[in-house]
A and B are shown apart, each in its own frame.
Chain A
Amino acid sequence: MNEHNDNYQIALIKELTNRVFSTGGFDCAIVLAKNPQLLSLFSCLVSKVILKSPYPPGTNFYYPISRDGKYRRITILSHQVESGLSSYWYKEANGTKGSECKSWKTLENFEKKAILAKDQESVDWIEQRDVSGANLSKHCGQSFPEIVSTRRDFEYWLSEDINDNNKSLLNLLGFKNFEEFNGAVNFLSPRSMKLSKEKNYIWINSIPELIDNKKHIVLLSPSSTRFEEFNFDINELYLNTETIRTWSLDELPEGLRMVAKRCSATTPISIWSTKKC
């Protein structure tokens, strides 16, 4: 491993994360490697989404509407700078159902009062009802895939200096301490899994029951006590998924193909799509 290039396994996870979570095509990738927890953090590193000022069109906010602490849901339409003045156009629902109106505020005034919403996905955001200040679900400014796993082992890997650059993964991910990480990254129990509204999931030593229009990266360890069950669970998922396509090495986009090829004898992978391409 040289200083400027990632180790092959890290490179593989980064490529897969991009392909599964952002640039499309793939819906599920299953990877066998010795350190699922550690690799999942690299996946988080690549798929971290930061929302910061100036906010792009489509960003959802809460905006105060009265003195009694009520907030209305609004969505940014545009950000512009005119003669040195930075401002936003945004839309909000207008009393009568279905109609909306446009408003304008300077960036400074807007950002002083508006609160970034956790829900950046809903298409009917502005049509949902007003909420009181106590019930807002705020966004911490960055988002990660949800991890289906216990938190065990994560603290250890987060504090390790991985690439000899005097930076722990915790630092690389932009956190000061483990508590901050815990607040920002959501963990789900593998057994009583009810998938939330989020789209992207990382599974550690367990396998989803359904792909269900979500995106999954599944990381498995050969030394897991459940190793014998993995093949069975993968089979179930495969058989339960309609219009499934599994990819072969030659069909992959070039960047991923190169690194997948290097890993082929050490890190077995399976990549699936659920829509016909």
Chain B
Amino acid sequence: MEYQEVLISPFCNFTTPTIKFINIKYSPLDEYIHVLDKLRSDCNSDDLRRSVFKKFKQLLNSLLSGLLITDEILDDTLNFCKKTKLNKQFLANPKILYQLIPFIEIKKIIRESITRVFESEIEEVAVFCKDVKQWEFICSLVDVHERDFIYPVYRTTIRKNYINGPLVIIAPSYWISDFLKYPSAETVYVIQPQSVGALELKMDLFKSNAEIDIGLVKPVTIPTSINELIIEASESYKKRINIVPIENPFSFNRMEEMLGALSHITCKEIIEEDGSVSYIQVNKTYITVNSNGFVENKAFGENDNLLGTSYIVQNIDYSRMSHEDVNQEYRKQMDKWKKPLRDYYRPYNLPKLLKELGAKKASEINIKNWSKPASIAPKGRFDFLAVLTFANITSEEEIETYFKLASNMRSNSISFGHKKADVAKEIIKKSIISKLSNGEPIENELSIGNLNANILMLRVHNV
């Protein structure tokens, strides 16, 4: 293990990163991608059809990650398709995909790719592996003399370390574009199907309004090169009669749309209710619904299981939210206690009532100001408590929320980005709570005004 300590370091020891794409041209794989895309367009917005598509997408995800598809998984996929009882016409493409899998020799792809890497590397090469099982699988494929020159790195290592030598990742580049933009290794080999093409990798963190460069150097474009690797298909594949012709080549965007931008390389894998795989970030706080129907904020660690969690709000898009939206939402929440003040049928009695509830400065004028939607809240703690109590807001947790809300509204020290994220979360959370209490179903997508959220439905026995 000694060499690893030198090669894996918390500091960056290289100065000139490059990305080398090894774009694989392999007929059975290209055909699979092509047919899968056709299947996708056949789905329309039918959930059952989509679940079939997702099954085959998952197989492709495995292949593109350099993982072996076992007979068990393949049988499982077949049985799933049969059970859907979808019509023959729709199932024609799934059938082709099913038949194609045995022709895609993942072992051959890995072996030839690694050999290609060693044509230009004399150092030890780090190979990104999903787990120890994949590492053992890869070891079993390479030549004996190559085995001493490869070592595994895993997601947890790569999060906090630089690799000071070459690194091989078997994955389409759009899964890891941020990872590639901010280099983790001097030379990164990305092994991907040629249909993905090449990705322009620009460090664009320091761009103001997507225009002005505010970084020390203009956005650096990481130098890339493309190396085509043609892998010969087996004779049995070539002899097939019905090879589906590939009409027009794939675009990068279409691949990303088809397979999604998240993967096990940067995220934790979870199994959705329909058996498909999704991804969440480690240690990020998500809105979740537990199996008792309660909504809670929860973060998942690297080794945490998801037992007891039924839904996870995977992603909230609040990019279209404006300053005004945020302020409006704040005001809307505050109006919960303001409205009772405005609506009270004997306003002249309010000063007395509020004083009885502990208020110190409950003059008629002050009360009028507090109850206006444009104002924030009484400054004094006792005054604020009194008006909340008046509006029947009495639980400690709720009171805490309103105090926090007021300080957020007043504060200049919380960035607008944070405020937006907070407000967006609050809106989504409320909507889910109201759906749950009304017995409405929770769907994969939730849109409220300018907000969009994706929700993952988890399998009951998620581990």
On A, residues with C-beta under 8 Å from B are 1, 7-10, 30, 32-35, 38, 157, 162, 191-195, 207, 209-210, 220, 222-223, 225, 227, 229-239, 246-249, 252, 260, 262-272
Contact = CB atoms under 8 A, between A and B. Distances in A.
A225 B14 contact: no
A271 B415 contact: no
A35 B10 contact: yes
B178 A231 contact: no
B178 A193 contact: no
B11 A7 contact: yes
Given A222-B182, A232-B417, A266-B15, A34 B162 contact: yes
B418 A191 contact: yes
- Of the four ranges (under 10, 10 to 19, 20 to 34, 35 or more), the interface on chain B belongs to 35 or more
B11 to A, nearest CB: 4
A194 B282 CA distance: 29
A222 B183 CA distance: 10
Contact of A34 (B14, B159, B204, B209): B159
A251 B207 CA distance: 19
B206 A264 contact: no
A130 to B, nearest CB: 32
Contacts of A247: 216
A84 B205 CA distance: 60
Contacts of B407: 192
Contacts of B214: 234, 238, 246, 270, 272
A248 B12 contact: no
B233 interface: no
Interface string B163-206: 00000000000000011011110000000000000000001111
Q: Sorted from nearest, which 9 A-B pairs have the closest CB atoms?
A: A225-B284, A222-B182, A7-B11, A269-B216, A223-B159, A270-B206, A233-B417, A232-B417, A246-B214
B414 interface: yes
A227 B178 contact: yes
A98 to B, nearest CB: 35
Nearest to A6: B11
A248 B413 contact: no
Contact of A209 (B11, B217, B412): B412
Contacts of B417: 229, 232-233, 236
A195 B414 CA distance: 11
B347 interface: no
Given A227-B178, A263-B15, A271-B216, 9 more contacts: A1-B13, A194-B413, A209-B412, A223-B160, A229-B418, A265-B16, A266-B12, A266-B17, A268-B203
A45 to B, nearest CB: 14
A248 B216 contact: yes
Contacts of B363: none
